[in-house]
Amino acid sequence: MTNPQDPATPASDRAVLALEPGDLSGHTIDELSDYLDAGRLPANPSIDQSASCQLALDALARLREVARTLLDVDVRNAPAADDNWVHRILDNIGLEARAGRDIPLRHPAPSAELVLTEGAVRGIIRTAGDSIDGILIGRCRFSGDVSVPGEPISVSVEASAVWGKPIMAAADRVRQAIHRELQTHTELNVTDIDVTVHDIHMADDAEADDQAGVR
């Protein structure tokens, strides 16, 4: 059965399945995008007081910053540029900002239940990946049951990259950055991190020339 909550659900299915109102505290990605446009004013407490909305806003702000540059370049270099990659990332931001499963943390007291939400952990993965120059994280997925302590977990991320950047080196840096963040903040038993670059975007000539020395 298709489950919109399951990140493994194909994108074509997710696109036609509405998120539950609680996923983004009753808000949509479009509303959050408008809120960002308006400078988060007037303040909306139901957005400001929602962890999932804040995660989505963080990701939208980063996406907007990178996309502005990339789309400008795409438009200059290819008038019919396909901007579906932006929509794919927007879809994933909405899906992945939801709280999702509880990821447990150890504590000796039996009455203590300490957890990170799956959305919070996806958020640090996205931030770590986006911090690498020329990379923008699209989809992020866990294989393995993150709600079971010690369970072997594989992390798969899909990314967009700028043409002219050394992709293999960038993917390695993404992998290292994600590993470092997961080690710092979680107790997940991460066995491997796969980075797949799906979209390549044109960098402008000047920037490409600047990068020539490191290729």
Q: Which of 22, 149, 150, 152 binds another protein (CB under 8 A)?
A: 22
Q: What is the DSSP string of 43-66?
A: --HHHHT-HHHHHHHHHHHHHHHH
Answer for which of 60, 99, 161, 193 binds another protein (CB under 8 A) is: 99
Exactly one of 112, 168, 212, 214 binds another protein (CB under 8 A); that residue is 112
Cα within 13 Å of Cα(103), Cβ side? 24
**109 binds another protein, rule: CB under 8 A:** yes
> CA-to-CA distance for 181 and 190, rounded, in angstroms?
11
- Judged by beta carbon, residue 75 or residue 115, the one nearer another protein is 115
Q: Is 45 in the site for another protein (CB under 8 A)?
A: yes
Choose the stretch contacting another protein; rule: CB under 8 A; options: 60-68, 79-87, 111-119, 134-142.
Answer: 111-119
Close Cβ partners of 141 (under 8 Å, ≥ 6 residues apart)? 7, 8, 155, 156, 157
Least separation in angstroms between residue 26's CB and another protein is 6
- In single-letter form, the type of residue at position 79 comes to P
Residues in 125-154 that interact with another protein by CB under 8 A: 127
Look at the block and give the residue holding tokens 């992945």. Answer: 96
Cβ proximity to another protein: between 39 and 45 the closer is 45
Q: Segment near another protein (CB under 8 A), from 32-40, 72-80, 113-121, 163-171?
A: 113-121
Sign of CA dihedral 133, 134, 139, 144: negative
- The candidate with the shortest Cα–Cα distance to 159, out of 204, 110, 108, 197, is 197
Q: How many residues bind another protein (CB under 8 A)?
A: 39
- Backbone phi and psi for residue 163, each to the nearest 5 degrees, phi listed first: -60, 140
Which CB sits closer to another protein, 94 or 164? 94
User: Interface residues with another protein (CB under 8 A)?
Assistant: 21-22, 25-26, 43-46, 49-52, 54-55, 58, 99, 102, 105, 107, 109-117, 119-121, 123-124, 127, 181, 184-187
